[in-house]
Amino acid sequence: MATMNTPTMDRRTMGERRTAERSHLRPAMSALDYLAMALLIIGGLNWAMVGLFDVDMVATLFGPGSPATRIVYVVVGLAALYSLYTTAKMAGSKRP
């Protein structure tokens, strides 16, 4: 006798099931998370250009040693610190 697949009690559509599965997970990235990621990418590309071509784009755009250049460096550094905090928070959270 052939086996039959037992019907499931869950009649939700696939999209509804995916939404229900995500409800216990960490919420999506916030605007601050995206801003920090963008600043880290910009800072990383700047460092790559310094290493490869000896060109500092931030200093080129705002002038070497200018207050605007220093502010950009500080903001990118703060984004890195925020990302460290976010990473530590994610690593310490309980996973299901």
Question: For the residues 41-53, what does the mean pLDDT come to?
Answer: 97
Put residue 30 in one of left, alpha, beta given phi > 0 → left and psi -120 to 50 → alpha.
beta
Put residue 63 in one of left, alpha, beta given phi > 0 → left and psi -120 to 50 → alpha.
left
The pLDDT score that the predictor gives to residue 74 is 97
Looking at per-residue confidence, does 24 or 68 come out higher?
Answer: 68
The pLDDT score that the predictor gives to residue 27 is 65
Cα 96 from Cα 80, distance rounded (Å): 28
Model pTM score: 0.67
Cα 56 from Cα 40, distance rounded (Å): 15
Q: Find out whether 72 and 58 touch, Cβ atoms under 8 Å.
A: yes
Cα→Cα distances 15→12, 19, 87, 90, 96, Å = 8, 6, 29, 26, 21
Examine the pLDDT at 95 and tell me if it is beyond 70.
no
